[in-house]
Structure 1
Amino acid sequence: MVANAIQVKPLSQLTTEELKAELLTLVRDRDTEPLNQKVAYAKNELAPYFEELQQRNPHPAVESQVPIVLGVWTPVWSTIPFHDVLPGRLHDCSYQIFLENGYYANIARYAPGSKSKLIEKLSPILAAYDFMVMQKFEIREGEWFIQNIAINQTLRWRAIPLTIEKAEAWFHKVLESRWDEFTQKTALPQQLKLNNVDKTTLKKLEKTYHATPKFEHVYVDETLRIVKTQREAKQRPSYTIAVRRK
């Protein structure tokens, strides 16, 4: 006797909240997979969810998206290569912070070997590498315009967590101390000067830093963002799924 085929409910029949929940379940604990696997996963498994949610985007007008994105988000899954150029990113300590004044920061803590039992025991005396890319954002001709303005880095004790409040305080402190520089800046430096980064990684960071990517919200509401970015016209698009933290 042939078993009855399992009937899967079409995505179009799911509520938006059900779609969001299924999508987050599909990407749970998968952000550390190799990039090529994540790209294939996005194409083969996630694309139907992206397409269905895009049709239901409650804020399709770009101008209306700005007040929605203000606050703190954490990227839970992404195919952007830049996210893992440095080893040991702590996903729970990764933040995207949008401010009302048009400034934006990607902040992450890197602690290589953090999953090792030995490293865990030594964590009180080890350092973590906190990394921040600062950007300006605005809406131009109905599209998001994102421009990199600075990269900041610092070493901190690994045992002291990089909380949302600490990340926000760091962002505001740097923004305030360099406000005149940022408001008068007309061009980015051709070469980055970063400590604790090898030459190969520095070259990768420079290439991304000088790019002005296309940035589109496939879906955005008060709790979830699906962002499509493309650094160059010939490059494949990348997708990031982010959830609100604050």
Structure 2
Amino acid sequence: MVSTIVGNKFGYLSTQELKNELLELVEGRDAENLKTKVNFYQEELQPYFEELMQRNPFPVVEDQLPVVLGVWTPVWSTIPFHDILPGRIREQSYQIFHDDGLYANIARFAPGQQSSFWKNVTSKLPTYDFMVMQKYAVCDNQWCIQNIGIFQAFRNREIPLTIDDADDWFTNVVNSKIKQALQTGGLPKALKLENLDKTTIKKFEKTYLATPVLEHLYVDHELRLVKTQREPSQRPSYTIAARRR
């Protein structure tokens, strides 16, 4: 009965109205803990994902490549990696697709910025900017993703990480560290991360060594609904990403 009611409701909504409702549902909820977000997806969001999947204007993966180029921000996600460190600044989180087959997840972390007390205490400490870089291609009408590096930078927290700053960092790392390594097949097999505890480094290493699976359940020029799995045994994660540029 519930699925019939939901189906009837969606039948009266345009695709734009569906997208607007979905974005309204998740507004302000990305900071919730992972368990809460997983339950929220299962109980509230899944019907929207399934309906929009049926309306995907670009179901062929090869046709999706030019559509995703540019800069996106994950407005809501159940990917555990997104909050591997405390203090992620969501409006300074970017997913950047370049037309050379390279893609970067970039985020700024400023521990203590959620609390007024700790914000004053940590105001002079640097922020952590992290980038997970990947290669992307199409294989048998599926996205083929390969992790090729995880990079970090320590910066002044009083200067925001803008889209231009993030894109420039991405480009500079490609030119200085990745381009030649891709040509020679000499990508690093181990990470070099500083000022992090061993447990966190192990989490980054596990992410780096995985071969992730990515599927666009829905994609147009303004919105992406993405299903990802770090490995087959892992629970799927879901992300809603909105275009920034």
Q: TM-score range by the shorter chain?
A: over 0.9
Counterpart for residue 13 of structure 1: 12
Counterpart for residue 182 of structure 1: 182
Superposition map of 1:93-132 within 5 A: 93-121=92-120, 125-132=124-131
Counterpart for residue 33 of structure 2: 34
In structure 2, what is the Cα distance between the partners aligned to 1:205 and 1:37? 23
In structure 2, what is the Cα distance between the partners aligned to 1:54 and 1:203? 35
In structure 1, what is the Cα distance between the partners aligned to 2:170 and 2:119? 28
Amino acid at match of 2:144: F
In structure 1, the residue corresponding to 2:100 is in which secondary structure? coil
Counterpart for residue 161 of structure 2: 162
Amino acid at match of 1:222: H
In structure 2, what is the Cα distance between the partners aligned to 1:24 and 1:202? 33
Counterpart for residue 143 of structure 2: 144
Q: Which structure 1 segments of 5+ residues have no match? A: 1-6
In structure 1, the residue corresponding to 2:240 is in which secondary structure? strand
Q: Which structure 2 segments of 5+ residues have no match? A: none
Amino acid at match of 1:164: I
In structure 2, what is the Cα distance between the partners aligned to 1:141 and 1:13? 35
Show CA shifts across 1:192-243 (max 9, x none): 2200211011111111111111110000000000000112222211101000
C-alpha RMSD of matched pairs (Å)? 1.6
- Residues 104 and 137, structure 1, Cα contact 8 Å, conserved in 2: yes
- Residues 181 and 187, structure 2, Cα contact 8 Å, conserved in 1: no
Amino acid at match of 2:170: F
How far apart are residue 133 of structure 1 and its match? 0.8
207-216 or 101-110, larger mean C-alpha shift = 207-216
How far apart are residue 181 of structure 1 and its match? 1.3
In structure 1, what is the Cα distance between the partners aligned to 2:201 and 2:70? 29
> Residue 23 in 1 paired to residue 48 in 2?
no
Q: Name the % identity.
A: 58
Show CA shifts across 1:139-198 (max 9, x none): 011100111111110110000000000000111111111210133225651x32200211
In structure 2, the residue corresponding to 1:205 is in which secondary structure? helix
TM-score, scaled relative to structure 1: 0.93
How far apart are residue 12 of structure 1 and its match? 2.1
How far apart are residue 83 of structure 1 and its match? 0.7
> Residue 76 in 1 paired to residue 75 in 2?
yes
Amino acid at match of 1:183: Q
TM-score, scaled relative to structure 2: 0.93
Amino acid at match of 1:50: F
- Residues 78 and 238, structure 1, Cα contact 8 Å, conserved in 2: yes
> Residue 135 in 1 paired to residue 141 in 2?
no
Counterpart for residue 173 of structure 1: 172
In structure 2, what is the Cα distance between the partners aligned to 1:188 and 1:229? 24
How many residues matched?
239
How far apart are residue 97 of structure 1 and its match? 0.3
